[in-house]
Amino acid sequence: MSDIAFVHSFVQRVTQNVSQVILGKEDAIQKTLLALLCEGHLLIEDVPGLGKTMLARSIARSIGCTFNRIQFTPDMLPSDVTGVSVYNQKSQEFEFRPGPIFAQIVLADEINRATPKTQAALLESMEERQVTIDGVTYPMQRPFLVLATQNPIEYEGTFPLPEAQVDRFIMRIHLGYPDRPHEIAILDSQRDHHPIQDLEQVVGREDLLQAQEAVKQVYVDDRIKEYIVAITQATRQHPDVYLGASPRGSLALYKTARALAAAQNRAFVLPDDIKALAVATLAHRIIVSPSARIKNISSDVILREIMESVPVPGTRVTPVA
């Protein structure tokens, strides 16, 4: 089996397994796996009760990774996330007790209910894959995924995420309400017990690491790279945008497009891959201008408008000798 075929098989197996718990949300499951394959982090923004926590638990169980859940609250301190040094009277030395951030898949539940100071405790671990406490640096295990959930910012008792932290999430997705047949199926599936109790591991940690390396072999043509940069730069020049996407946004779109191509058993990226992921990778990085916000113009709408205006790269014509 080729490396690309291995990634395709990996995504198929995990998606089918997680779909036993998260019904009718194959697209959200796949995008979560794309973030995992790119060694990125995912932000899920939606109202409570749609299965955000179950999604994280199901993927962790399917892959066999360690899993921790952090429930963010307004009174939480940074040390509650990263850990703390405790004095041992026997050894007369300080011992480090790691916090819940030290897991391979971390669910940061309702992250926007914590204060900005506590939210900032995640920045180093998300970007540098390490945590520094009392001058000592502790590396994170591989793989490492922060799957953060947040309620819409108009809900009471929430703190908007700082732009620096939002920019560190490779994608933002929405689960949305299930349709009627799937909601009835949810009722039937939980008649006796929760289906996650029956969920088994279908791949291993080494399989994930192999898939992450295989994704890096996907070819991206120069015209596709120009297309990515053109979209990102268009967000900085749009009249309804106060602050456009950063170069980290271009890199996120580049990485996730390669992962999507491999997941679909292709060794090359198509313009359709860019179109499919542009909103998920760039919309949360855009700050809409106050005048556009008054008109209820969202970053998603702006990006779709940009996608219609930026020319799609065509095929290269080889000159005849």
Q: Find the helix or strand (DSSP H, E) in which 216 lies.
A: none
Answer yes or no: is pLDDT of 289 > 90. no
Calculate the alpha carbon distances from 242 to 7, 169, 238, 317 in Å. Answer: 38, 20, 8, 39
Answer yes or no: is pLDDT of 16 > 80. yes
Q: 97 - beta bridge partners?
A: 84
The proportion of the chain whose per-residue pLDDT surpasses 70, expressed as a percent, equals: 95
Q: What whole-number distance in Å separates Cα of residue 38 and Cα of residue 29?
A: 14
Which residue do the tokens 């702006």 mark? 302
Q: What whole-number distance in Å separates Cα of residue 258 and Cα of residue 177?
A: 29
**What pLDDT shows up at residue 232?**
92
Residues 188-220 have pLDDT tens digits of 888 888 888 888 888 888 898 899 999 999 999
Residues 111-120 have pLDDT tens digits of 888 888 888 7
Answer yes or no: is pLDDT of 318 > 90. no
Tell me which residue of 81, 82, 287, 281 sits closest to 168, measured CA to CA: 281
pTM of the full structure: 0.85
Residues 46-95 have pLDDT tens digits of 777 778 888 888 888 888 888 889 888 888 888 888 888 887 888 877 78
The proportion of the chain whose per-residue pLDDT surpasses 90, expressed as a percent, equals: 21
Answer yes or no: is pLDDT of 144 > 80. yes
Q: How confident is the model at residue 156 (pLDDT cuts 50, 70, 90)?
A: low
Cα 9–Cα 43–Cα 77 angle in degrees, nearest 5: 125
**What pLDDT shows up at residue 252?**
93
Answer yes or no: is pLDDT of 126 > 80. yes
**What pLDDT shows up at residue 237?**
87
**What pLDDT shows up at residue 3?**
86
The backbone torsions φ and ψ at residue 232, rounded to the nearest 5 degrees and listed phi first, read: -65, -45
Answer yes or no: is pLDDT of 321 > 60. no
Is the backbone peptide bond immediately before 48 cis, with ω within 30 degrees of 0? Answer: no
281, two tokens = 């990778």
Residues 234-256 have pLDDT tens digits of 999 888 888 888 899 999 999 99
Answer yes or no: is pLDDT of 280 > 80. yes
**What pLDDT shows up at residue 154?**
55
Q: What whole-number distance in Å separates Cα of residue 166 and Cα of residue 122?
A: 11
Crossing angle between the packed helical segments 247-263 and 222-237, to the nearest 10 degrees: 140
Are 70 and 110 contacting, i.e. CB atoms less than 8 angstroms apart? no
End-to-end C-alpha distance for the chain, whole angstroms? 38
Q: Find the helix or strand (DSSP H, E) in which 274 lies.
A: helix 271-282
- The predicted model gives 162-177 an average pLDDT of 84
| Domains by residue range for the chain, with CATH | 1-217 (3.40.50.300), 219-315 (1.10.8.80)
Answer yes or no: is pLDDT of 315 > 70. no
Answer with the residue of higher pLDDT: 48 or 277: 277
**What pLDDT shows up at residue 215?**
92
In the predicted model, what is the mean pLDDT of the chain?
A: 85
- The predicted model gives 296-302 an average pLDDT of 84
Which residue do the tokens 């998603």 mark? 300
**What pLDDT shows up at residue 287?**
85
**Residue 261, SS3?**
helix
Answer yes or no: is pLDDT of 317 > 80. no
Are 288 and 297 contacting, i.e. CB atoms less than 8 angstroms apart? yes
Q: What whole-number distance in Å separates Cα of residue 98 and Cα of residue 86?
A: 11
242, two tokens = 């106060």
33, two tokens = 């796996």
